Structure 1
């Protein structure tokens, strides 16, 4: 700052007090912790008028007539030796070097465990096995030298031995857990916890582990957990081997999953044509949603509409519930959208009986904002898909964006995406990359966690990883709903997945190779990995992965393209990881 460089400083920095006390009138920008977007306007003005700002800053600094202390001139700062204890420095250096050597040693310890003879023994066993089963007409393909080179280059040896060692540990652990007492409730809880840990860490003997988890959860009267694991067993096996389906269907209905019960029976019921039943369900779901029953007339207890136009380029739809704490930051971020500055953006809130003062926060912001906004509140709790349907009906935009208050987009995001839809009339949905960021309770950045990197996007990949097509950093045409219906309001957790699978065969999507969306991972953030979501996935996701689902999605596909997709399912990258995944199960 004193060198004449414009600065922006976080409001929590202690140096602010020093500047205000000792360097009065020196201009600088404060980044408010409670509203980081408040600094964007002064920073923008600074950049647009940089030379003028810097001249003014230097004049203010010169007016202070600062002088370095006589006893410690500035030119000696970098020449003055430190007065710290050199012995302590040496000790710390030795400790660091030792730690570094230990780290290097640990990185190679696994390979040192495997001596050369064990390598050759294992390779010899594999080659012998292949020799017994190989086709004589393909001798050249299996020449020992070629296979050995491939075997070692791809690190198969280390991976194989690693899994052998893991298996040994698994057998010991599973015996220990199996022998744990079930004398009382606390013992059963402890045993169930151990099975959960084993199930999360190992992929061996999953069926037996899941059977034990389902049994113990049922003892503890946690029927949702037992239901989830019974369904997992049936799903993985592909049929009702242990005759649990009747009980599963009863428990599904008991918890209000009537449609999931119907799907489970169609997928795994005996003595019925499963493929025909599943295809009927898929086709009926498609037809039923073409004429949604949405009551938007008389049931709003609050309806605040500040729009002045009948048409907007983009509508942002937001479902609100317990959002008061995060709403100010969200609203400030939307205010930075370039489409808002061009008066081409509207913002629609649908509050579903939030117990917090969401509406008061909205009104406070609205007093100082020109964003065209609608605030609609209903008196009862509804699903997010139901709230989205209301927002769609209230919207006047040509293109739709859906966000939560813990999700953000960069200022130019909607303009970039809308331009793509403008330029390509055959594209229905555009999707950019997005990043997941850990923030504090104020929404202030702490660290980046992961990226949804959709590089290499093809529409068919959505059938392998549903996250390849999302809502954050995305935009789609409103007329999708005129053509294919609205969201299914009966879903409580997996309605977005069902919607994509339902309409995907009939629309065209495109990837934009830019990072334009942000997920804010607040301390109180909740995961969607719940029993509720997994049970609903039965009809939102797994029904679409049956033979009937294949026919529903790919009946108009070229056979060669379809074969390529099935091959891809054995070896592909999910959007949120770097490693290769497989759907071999």
Structure 2
């Protein structure tokens, strides 16, 4: 049967979660339509042993070793290139998907051909395996579409059409933490979303082992987004200079190569924003001033010829 859904799971130093992860794989329904890609960064023997003890029970699980640790979003991009499914989703090893979550999301996309991405509500866990009733209710895109340009709402269990990457590109490998937020914004510019009307699983929140517990890095990356998309009310100006020194603002990185971030004209920054961007890009990357001067001279010459 044709594979409908590809699930991406990035693994790194995850021994404490693997047995339960396979247990929740065993509870999935409609597995004849899915493939799960285990993308294992810098594996250690204890992790490999657990995987080898379980993987033969699940022919739809495919194991890929990445010898050296790489960025999460680089691994996701790698998985996208390997994916055979029409739809792609993520499942972090320390989160729990409900048995029908993949089925419900795929069905939502099937029933809404105009939509490219779906998401849903989920519960928090504050300790792995300890369930709570703390429900995260994400806004309905049909009611609040503009909110998806300003806040992160697709959560930890999004599913999207693989074809979306031809429209908006891939995950920005500059990020360690908020690349899915950046992906959501770029998708919201060009695509429609639809909410799956089912609770999808449990998300592990506030755990010290998670990279997302690095609040300083998270704030820094969030402010890259605020600068990239001109969200001045959300910007923490203490991070402004650091962001310009560290990141590419107008391009995203995919397999080490730069690609332009396309922003529709109606969402583009104000003239003041462009002017400030120019000043800082010149200050921190002086070679840019030469290209700017050449560009300005060409514009003036063209204007004089008219």
TM-score, normalised to structure 2, is 0.70
Q: 1:489, CA displacement in angstroms?
A: 1.6
Q: What is the aligned partner in structure 1 of residue 92 from structure 2? A: 404
Q: Which aligned pairs between 1:510-521 and structure 2 lie closer than 5 A?
A: 510-521=194-205
Hey, what's the Cα distance between the residues in 2 that align with 1:412 and 1:446? 18
Change (3 A) 1:436 1:390: same
Q: What is the aligned partner in structure 2 of residue 337 from structure 1? A: 28
Change (3 A) 1:389 1:456: closer
Q: 1:412, CA displacement in angstroms?
A: 1.0
Q: What is the aligned partner in structure 2 of residue 423 from structure 1? A: 111
Number of equivalenced pairs: 238
Q: What is the aligned partner in structure 2 of residue 555 from structure 1? A: 266
User: Deviations 1:87-140 (Å, cap 9, x if unpaired)?
Assistant: xxxxxxxxxxxxxxxxxxxxxxxxxxxxxxxxxxxxxxxxxxxxxxxxxxxxxx
**SS of structure 1 residue aligned to 2:15:** coil
Q: What is the aligned partner in structure 2 of residue 489 from structure 1? A: 173
Q: 1:521, CA displacement in angstroms?
A: 4.5
CA contact (8 A) 1:504 1:553 kept: no
Q: What is the aligned partner in structure 2 of residue 507 from structure 1? A: 191
Match of 1:363 among 46, 52, 55: 52
Change (3 A) 1:507 1:528: farther
Hey, what's the Cα distance between the residues in 1 that align with 2:26 and 2:264? 40
CA contact (8 A) 1:432 1:511 kept: yes
TM-score, normalised to structure 1, is 0.38
User: Deviations 1:342-373 (Å, cap 9, x if unpaired)?
Assistant: x1111101111144632221111023x13312
Change (3 A) 1:323 1:329: same
RMSD of equivalent CA atoms: 2.7
Q: What is the aligned partner in structure 2 of residue 459 from structure 1? A: 145
**SS of structure 1 residue aligned to 2:16:** coil
Change (3 A) 1:386 1:456: closer
Identify the structure with bigger relative contact order (alpha carbons < 8 Å, sequence gap 6+): 2
Q: 1:494, CA displacement in angstroms?
A: 2.1
**SS of structure 2 residue aligned to 1:539:** helix
Hey, what's the Cα distance between the residues in 1 that align with 2:167 and 2:40? 27
**SS of structure 1 residue aligned to 2:14:** coil
Q: What is the aligned partner in structure 1 of residue 4 from structure 2? A: 313
Q: 1:320, CA displacement in angstroms?
A: 0.5
Q: 1:385, CA displacement in angstroms?
A: 0.2
Q: 1:505, CA displacement in angstroms?
A: 0.5
CA contact (8 A) 1:410 1:516 kept: yes
Hey, what's the Cα distance between the residues in 1 that align with 2:27 and 2:195? 24
Please identify which structure carries the higher strand content.
2
Please identify which structure carries the higher helix content.
1
Q: 1:514, CA displacement in angstroms?
A: 2.4
Hey, what's the Cα distance between the residues in 2 that align with 1:478 and 1:460? 23
**SS of structure 2 residue aligned to 1:382:** coil
User: Structure 1 residue 349 and structure 2 residue 60: aligned?
Assistant: no
**SS of structure 2 residue aligned to 1:386:** helix
Larger Cα-atom Rg? 1
CA contact (8 A) 1:324 1:356 kept: no
Hey, what's the Cα distance between the residues in 2 that align with 1:496 and 1:417? 18
> Structure 1 unaligned runs (5+)?
1-308, 558-585
Change (3 A) 1:528 1:438: closer
Match of 1:536 among 195, 213, 221: 221
